[in-house]
């Protein structure tokens, strides 16, 4: 393989910086972003808040304890999505091989195109400038340059905020050895604890392991991955926008901020998530025949699924199935609910309904979808959801369904 | 000092519509008349847009001499709203 040049661009403290961009009086102050008003989980923290040890996923009261001056704001996902969209538009002008890795991260393979921009460093500086002139003067990013994705991402994490760092074959191992295993591999905590259990807690030790030893403990897939990672080897291509594989499943989960004790409330939340899931599937032109439901209270968790013979994509049927699944569960108090629609296929492959009642249902649904598309989501919604705050677990939406998120970026 | 004050009032805005405006929108608010006071803007700090159904809504943060103002522009009915006032940093 000829030597590649890959940039990893990472917006610094994305959600918090976006708020500091919008409201200059928040700049230089510790800011935490909550999922929504009244929610207790910090989903992002500003550079200043991070200095106090505030981390993503922390409860609001913990963040307050660490930093009493912290300003907690509800997330504004419309705003973040708009910034992401413009950020990607900047990145993709440097190469068609541009992979949106998350809302604030993107890989660009400029091996073929860097010569048009006077080299990788010039590209990186130009991206930084354009971020400021086209999105806002407070926006910064860290950019890593290297010959593969693994090292490019490692490079961008070296200096934050507003960093620029290059990893070459000469310094790759040195940088790896200074890094934490957990920061680099994307292995998940399970694998990490397994490694530590074997006494392997850094890269030099991992590199000493033979492939045979790793294979014995981690199986063929992860052993090779670990072997390569420890040597800074990563041959995976940057996946351009147009070639993202189809989603395997759509799901929506929600953790309530108070315990739901009434059966009616629990069913409402369930219906809400069913509608969200089905909606999202329809927007992606998908339907599925696997239904999964999870409910959790503080002590117990329940999980069940059904596989159907026919594909479905409407919220009511999804809900009816969830009711069947949970029929025997003694649901009295709920903290968490998750609904999944899996085994997806394109809905254009579905047969045309034969029965008049099915046809009517289909017409009704597409009419509702059209009205909601024109006037806004939930202009028309099931009466069951009356009298509750409709939940829109957008974070999941963006981070969960990659395909949907990317379609959204492509179509906007 | 508080970092923002919610207002949410309909207001009159004078604006340029100019395709060469930076930050991706082609509107540049110049001044507004709010509570019988004329406030002039000298800088556009941030813009974003969202859609509610088919209606495109623009959000613009403009700086005056003394404070920053978040405005909302409905591109369908062309009405403006003053969303909030934020102190300068
Ligand atoms: Mg980031």
- Nearest-angstrom CA–CA distance, A363 and A72: 44
Split at pLDDT 50, 70, 90, the class of A72 is very high
Domain match, A175 and A278 both: no
Residues of chain A with Cβ-Cβ distance to B68 below 8 Å are 23-25
Put simply, whether B53 touches A (Cβ < 8 Å) is: yes
Domain match, A232 and A288 both: no
Domain match, A248 and A196 both: no
Q: In the predicted model, what is the mean pLDDT of chain A?
A: 88
Domain match, A165 and A186 both: no
CATH number of domain containing A183: 1.10.150.20
Distance from CA of B36 to the nearest CA of A (A): 25
pLDDT in tens, B1-32: 588 999 999 999 999 887 776 566 788 899 99
Put simply, whether B42 touches A (Cβ < 8 Å) is: no
Residue A284 scores a pLDDT above 90: no
Q: Report the chain A residue with the minimal C-alpha distance to residue B45.
A: A136
pLDDT in tens, A41-71: 888 999 999 999 998 888 899 999 999 999 9
Domain match, A374 and A400 both: yes
Q: How far is the CA of A9 from the centre of ligand 1 (A)?
A: 9
pLDDT in tens, A260-273: 888 899 999 999 99
Put simply, whether B23 touches A (Cβ < 8 Å) is: yes
Q: How many domains does chain A have?
A: 3
Write down the ipTM of this complex. Answer: 0.90
Domain match, A336 and A224 both: no
| A326-335, A362-371, A401-410, B11-20, range with greatest mean pLDDT | A362-371
Put simply, whether B4 touches A (Cβ < 8 Å) is: yes
Question: Last residue of a domain, which of A151, A169, A187?
Answer: A169
Q: Report the chain A residue with the minimal C-alpha distance to residue B69.
A: A23
CATH number of domain containing A89: 3.30.70.270
Q: How many domains does chain B have?
A: 1
Mean pLDDT across the stretch A147-158?
95
pLDDT in tens, A373-388: 888 888 999 999 998 8
Q: How far is the CA of A104 from the centre of ligand 1 (A)?
A: 5
Domain match, A391 and A336 both: yes
Question: Last residue of a domain, which of A192, A215, A242?
Answer: A242
Q: Catalytic amino acids of A?
A: 105
pLDDT exceeding 90 applies to what percent of chain A? 56
Residue A182 scores a pLDDT above 60: yes
Question: What integer pLDDT is reported at residue B7 of this predicted model?
Answer: 94
Q: How far is the CA of A312 from the centre of ligand 1 (A)?
A: 37
Of A25, A79, A137, which has the smallest distance from its Cβ to B87's Cβ?
A25
Cα four-point dihedral sign A192, A196, A199, A205: positive
Question: What integer pLDDT is reported at residue A247 of this predicted model?
Answer: 72
Size of interface A-B (CB pairs under 8 A): 68
Question: What integer pLDDT is reported at residue A402 of this predicted model?
Answer: 47
Neighbours of ion ligand 1 (CB under 5 A): A 10, 104
Domain match, A128 and A210 both: no
Domain match, A192 and A208 both: yes
H or E stretch at B36:
none
CATH number of domain containing A279: 3.30.1490.100
Question: What integer pLDDT is reported at residue A254 of this predicted model?
Answer: 85
Mark yes or no for CB contact A23/B68 under 8 Å. Answer: yes
Of A24, A82, A372, which has the smallest distance from its Cβ to B89's Cβ?
A24
Q: In terms of residue numbers, what domain contains A196?
A: 170-242
Question: What integer pLDDT is reported at residue A39 of this predicted model?
Answer: 66
pLDDT exceeding 70 applies to what percent of chain A? 92
Domain match, A311 and A379 both: yes
Mean pLDDT across the stretch A277-300?
88
Give the residue, A242 or A172, on which the prediction is more confident. Answer: A172
Record the tokens describing residue B19, joined without a space. 């395709």
Question: Last residue of a domain, which of A242, A258, A281?
Answer: A242
Mark yes or no for CB contact B59/A86 under 8 Å. Answer: no
Q: In terms of residue numbers, what domain contains B23?
A: 5-87
pLDDT in tens, B70-88: 999 999 999 999 999 999 8
Question: What integer pLDDT is reported at residue A24 of this predicted model?
Answer: 94
Mark yes or no for CB contact B53/A374 under 8 Å. Answer: yes
Split at pLDDT 50, 70, 90, the class of A398 is very low
pLDDT in tens, A4-28: 999 999 999 999 999 999 999 999 9
Domain match, A8 and A108 both: yes
Domain match, A280 and A307 both: yes
Split at pLDDT 50, 70, 90, the class of A395 is very low
Mark yes or no for CB contact A25/B61 under 8 Å. Answer: no
Q: Which residues of A touch B (CB under 8 A)?
A: 21-29, 71, 78-79, 81-83, 86, 133-137, 372-376, 379
Strands of the sheet containing A164-166, edge to edge, are A98-102, A105-109, A6-11, A141-146, A164-166
Residue A36 scores a pLDDT above 80: no
Record the tokens describing residue A367, joined without a space. 């009419």
Distance from CA of B83 to the nearest CA of A (A): 12
Residues of chain A with Cβ-Cβ distance to B53 below 8 Å are 372-376, 379
pLDDT in tens, B42-79: 999 999 998 888 899 999 999 999 999 999 999 999 99
């Amino acid at each position: 393989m000829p030597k590649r040049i890959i940039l990893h661009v990472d917006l610094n403290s994305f959600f918090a910086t976006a708020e500091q961009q919008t409201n200059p009086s928040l700049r230089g102050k510790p800011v935490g972003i909550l999922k929504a008003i009244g929610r207790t989980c910090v989903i992002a923290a500003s550079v200043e808040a991070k200095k106090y040890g505030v981390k993503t996923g922390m409860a609001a009261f913990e963040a307050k304890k660490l930093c009493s001056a912290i300003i907690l704001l509800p997330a504004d996902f419309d705003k973040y999505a708009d910034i992401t969209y413009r950020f990607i538009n900047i990145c993709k002008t440097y190469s068609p091989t541009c992979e949106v890795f998350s809302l604030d991260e993107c890989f660009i393979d400029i091996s073929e195109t860097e010569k048009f921009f006077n080299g990788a460093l010039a590209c990186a500086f130009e991206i930084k400038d354009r971020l400021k002139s086209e999105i806002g003067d407070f926006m910064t990013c860290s950019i890593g340059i290297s010959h593969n994705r693994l090292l490019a991402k490692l490079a961008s994490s070296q200096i934050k905020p507003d960093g620029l760092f290059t990893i070459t074959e000469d310094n790759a191992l040195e940088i790896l050895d200074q890094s934490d295993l957990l920061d680099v591999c994307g292995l998940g905590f399970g694998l990490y604890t397994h490694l530590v259990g074997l006494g392997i807690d850094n890269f030099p030790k991992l590199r000493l392991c033979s492939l045979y030893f790793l294979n014995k403990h981690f199986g063929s897939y992860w052993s090779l991955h670990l072997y390569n990672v420890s040597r800074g080897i990563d041959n995976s291509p940057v996946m351009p926008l147009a070639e993202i594989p189809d989603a395997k499943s759509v799901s929506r989960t929600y953790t309530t901020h108070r315990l739901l004790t009434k059966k009616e409330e629990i069913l409402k939340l369930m219906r809400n998530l069913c509608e969200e899931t089905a909606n999202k599937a329809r927007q992606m032109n998908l339907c599925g025949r696997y239904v999964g439901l999870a409910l959790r209270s503080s002590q117990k968790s329940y999980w069940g699924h059904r596989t159907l013979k026919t594909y479905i994509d409407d919220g009511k049927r999804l809900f009816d199935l969830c009711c069947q699944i949970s029929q025997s569960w003694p649901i009295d108090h709920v903290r968490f609910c998750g609904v999944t629609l899996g085994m997806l296929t394109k809905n254009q492959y579905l047969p045309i309904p034969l029965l008049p009642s099915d046809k009517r249902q289909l017409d009704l649904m597409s009419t509702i979808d059209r009205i909601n598309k024109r006037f806004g989501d939930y202009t028309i919604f099931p009466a069951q959801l009356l009298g509750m705050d409709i939940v829109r677990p957008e974070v999941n939406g963006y981070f969960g369904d990659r395909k949907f998120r990317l379609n959204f970026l492509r179509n906007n | 000092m508080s970092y923002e004050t919610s207002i949410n009032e309909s207001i009159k805005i004078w604006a340029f519509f100019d395709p060469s405006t930076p930050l991706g929108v082609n509107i540049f608010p110049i001044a507004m008349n709010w509570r019988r006071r004329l406030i002039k803007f000298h800088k556009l700090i941030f813009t974003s847009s969202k859609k509610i159904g088919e209606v495109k809504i623009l959000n613009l943060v403009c700086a005056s001499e003394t404070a920053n103002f978040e405005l909302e522009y409905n591109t369908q009915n062309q009405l403006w709203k003053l969303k909030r006032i934020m102190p300068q940093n």
